[in-house]
Structure 1
Amino acid sequence: MSKRIVPSHYHGLEALELLAPDGARAVLLLHGAHLVSWVPAGAGEQLYLSPKSAFSSGQAIRGGVPVCFPQFAMRGPLQKHGFARSKPWQLVLAEQGEDDALAVLRLSDDAASRMVWPHAFEAELSVRIAGGTLELELACEHKGQEGDAPFDFTAALHTYLGLEELSDASLRGLAGLHYWDAVAGVEKQQRTDLLLPGSPGTEDLDRIYHQVQQDLTLIEQNAGRPERRLLIRQQGFADTVVWNPGAAKCAQVADMPADGYRKMLCVEAAAVEHPIRLAPGESWAGLQSLTLLGPDDEAAGTA
């Protein structure tokens, strides 16, 4: 028997507090369909949320999982990362099931969106939590009439993964992939399976990995704490963005502490290199799932 979840408030914004029967928890804002917290059953917070982030209507939030749509970064005429993350979304469904909790939010075109992006669309974000797993699905449908022009969009789930310390982290599963290095402005190939984001020369990371089909694993190893392994999977999204601003750039980010870069690594499911094209009536969906692995789970994410 499902139990309806009633909206509450988080930092003054309307929010859904998802609670699965096994104790897994998450907080999803209607503002931007922005996930700001995910706590797996029996574990701690897995996402990074900047303590300096503004929780104001119409403004983007730094951390959690912003929804980049219908434009990634500055790759188009719209504001950076599009308008979806700063607009109010409508509640479609929020309920606790027998073994999970689920919420679905929807964003449709309106007069304001059509002024900057003249297309009829409907986007939905679905969030499901159960045990050690979080599933995020972004879907989009072209709601235009027959004969209307198709539209293109790029998108990403801009997931900020929380860290105890960047220098203790590695990301496994990238070997052999080609990527666009936005810092150097060139296309490169990943030679090794492990990416060490806190090592010399890689503190400032801004990479778009292409044709990502294998699982990835975020690993944190510190002598004073148990090893943490987070399995990262995606479907429908062809690219994975890996981002960390490093010390110099982080110090210039107004809504992050100067040392905030040490506490996060963005691993984003994205559709960037090849924009998604939809004709009237067509739809698309992309999924990112995160699973906190226990000590008895087999190693995953190897290439």
Structure 2
Amino acid sequence: MADAADDFKYVELCKGINGLDKVVLREVRGSSAEVYLYGAHVTSWKNDHGDELLFVSSKAIFKPPKAIRGGIPICFPQFGSHGTLEQHGFARNRFWNIDTSPPPFPTNTTNRAFVDLILKPSDEDSKIWPHSYEFRLRVTLGPGGDLMLTSRIRNTGLDGKPFSFTFAYHTYFSVSDISEVRVEGLETLDYLDNLKARERFTEQGDSITFESEMDKVYVSTPTKIAILDHEKKRTFVLRKDGLPDAVVWNPWDKKAKSIPDLGDDDYKHMLCVEAACIEKSITLKPGEEWKGRQELSTVPSSYCSGQLDPSKVLEAYGSLTGRGPSSAKDFCP
């Protein structure tokens, strides 16, 4: 008798908003993710209860050439606005193809919900960024509901010339109330403040909380960052490789009103914490490849300072008591 999981549809190509192609990833326990081929843009990530974990603007425009506001835009070949390239580069508003013959990614046999996408330069792109490259992206939904994005960028030029770029996974997390959220893992680190002409400062707080607009690039950051949502008793854990920096951004009320595709009150329910490589650009010689990976997961938690990895606390609590706590309130004072 065949296993019911064998008939389960882990990957489905279908139509999304305005007829744009998207790939839906599903896991048997109920988690899901959606990836638009336009921008290789993850627009949804839901847990096994059907809760949406990513924020997408109430005014998001799913119509090329406008980039989609929210989810996980891919910032390449630049983050920010520099030179003649558009804001955050062009990868997020180009049509990607499904990669039918990707080079071997490290594979986990338990991961069946994934899609491989590829972007190559068009003639028009070559006029504004004259370099030959292949950008391969794998989006994976793990059996436990974790969301993984792995980027591989290769210099395919035959002219012997290197090229440089900056990069970010511009992740918008869905939060209950921005004033009830804190970020841990970036304490005592240096950051560049984009609201003060990229002046360099050192983080002084024991965690990051939000009372006004914030736009900071933290440098030389750890591989793991936690976003604690007090009201939802939920912690996002962001793990990253090959991405030394982290952007923390919220536009707050005044800036939100100036962004056409962002609702006036949307800032209250979103927070961008972005795995990135910005301070020092990446340079690839012909034939060289760069790899950058981000993994997102959630664990139950409460508003406990210093609790960077609540899952470890949950495991320790369970082994001591012989049972798992129903929530992190069981071990938080």
TM-score (norm 1): 0.91
2:126 aligned partner: 114
**Number of residue pairs matched by the alignment:** 291
CA deviations on 1:172-202 (whole Å, 9 max, x unpaired) are: 11112100011122211112231002x3xxx
Q: Equivalent of 1:104, from 116, 121, 126?
A: 116
How far, CA to CA, are the matches of 1:287 and 1:111 in structure 2?
28
Match of 1:56 in 2: 63
| Aligned partner of 2:190 among 178, 195, 201 | 178
Are 2:152 and 1:139 equivalent residues in the alignment?
yes
SS in 2 for 1:243: strand
Amino acid at match of 2:97: Q
Alpha-carbon spacing, 1:83–1:254, altered in 2? closer, same or farther (3 Å): same
SS in 2 for 1:297: helix
- CA-based RMSD of the aligned residues comes to 2.1
State the 1:112 CA deviation. 1.2
Q: Is contact 2:226–2:235 with CA below 8 Å preserved after alignment?
A: yes
- Residue 234 of structure 2 aligns to a residue whose secondary structure is strand
Partner of 2:240 in structure 1? 234
Partner of 2:200: 187
How far apart, CA to CA, are the structure 2 residues paired with 1:83 and 1:47?
Answer: 22
Match of 1:213 in 2: 222
Tell me by how many angstroms 1:92 deviates: 1.6
Per the alignment, do residues 117 and 99 of structure 1 end up closer, same or farther by CA in structure 2, a change over 3 Å counting?
closer
Maintained 8 Å contact 2:253/2:267? yes
Matched, 1:88 2:120: no
SS in 2 for 1:183: helix
Q: Is the 8 A contact 1:173 1:214 kept in 2?
A: no
For 1:247 and 1:64, locate their aligned partners in 2 and report how far apart those are by CA, in whole Å: 20
Task: Look up the equivalent residue of 1:191 and give its one-letter code.
Answer: Q
Runs (5+) with no aligned partner, structure 1: none
What secondary structure does 1:250 align onto? helix
Change (3 A) 1:241 1:206: same
In the alignment, what sits opposite 2:79? 72
Kept in 2: contact 1:20–1:99 (CA 8 A): no
Residue identity in the other structure for 1:284: W
Structure 1 pair 85–73 and aligned structure 2 pair: CA distance change class (3 A): same
For residues 158 and 16 of structure 1, the distance between their equivalents in structure 2, rounded to whole angstroms, comes to: 19
Q: Which position in structure 2 is the counterpart of 1:279?
A: 285
Contact 1:219/1:229 (8 A) holds in 2: yes
Higher deviation after alignment, 40-49 or 2-11:
2-11
Query: Partner amino acid for 2:145?
Result: G
Structure 2 unaligned spans of 5+: 1-5, 103-108, 302-309, 315-333
Q: Does the 8 Å contact 1:235/1:286 carry over to 2? A: yes
**Aligned residue number for residue 297 of structure 1:** 311
User: Distance between the aligned counterparts of 1:47 and 1:23, measured in 2?
Assistant: 16
Distance 1:277 1:101 in 2: 32
C-alpha distance in structure 1 between counterparts of 2:239 and 2:223, whole Å: 8
Q: Distance in 2 between matches of 1:276 and 1:76?
A: 17
Task: Give the 3-state SS of the residue equivalent to 1:298 in structure 2.
Answer: helix
Distance 1:13 1:192 in 2: 44
Q: Residues 21 and 98 of structure 1 are in contact (CA less than 8 Å); yes or no, is this contact kept in structure 2? A: no
Which whole-Å CA distance do the structure 2 matches of 1:38 and 1:71 have between them? Answer: 25
Deviation at 1:57? 2.1
Matching residue's letter, 1:210: V
Pick one of 17, 26, 33 that aligns with 2:40.
Answer: 33
The structure with more strand, counted as a fraction of residues: 1
Q: Counting helix residues as a fraction of each chain, which structure ranks higher?
A: 2
Normalising to structure 2: TM-score of the pair?
Answer: 0.83
**SS state at 2:99 partner:** strand
2-structure distance, mates of 1:48, 1:3:
25
User: What amino acid sits opposite 1:255 in the alignment?
Assistant: D
Quote how far apart the aligned CAs of 1:109 are: 1.2
Aligned to 1:166: 178
Letter in 2 for 1:82: G
Find the partner of 1:243 among 242, 249, 256: 249
Percent identical: 33
Does the 8 Å contact 2:213/2:251 carry over to 1?
Answer: yes
Give the structure, 1 or 2, with the largest relative contact order (CA under 8 Å, sep 6 or more).
Answer: 1
1:187 maps to amino acid: R
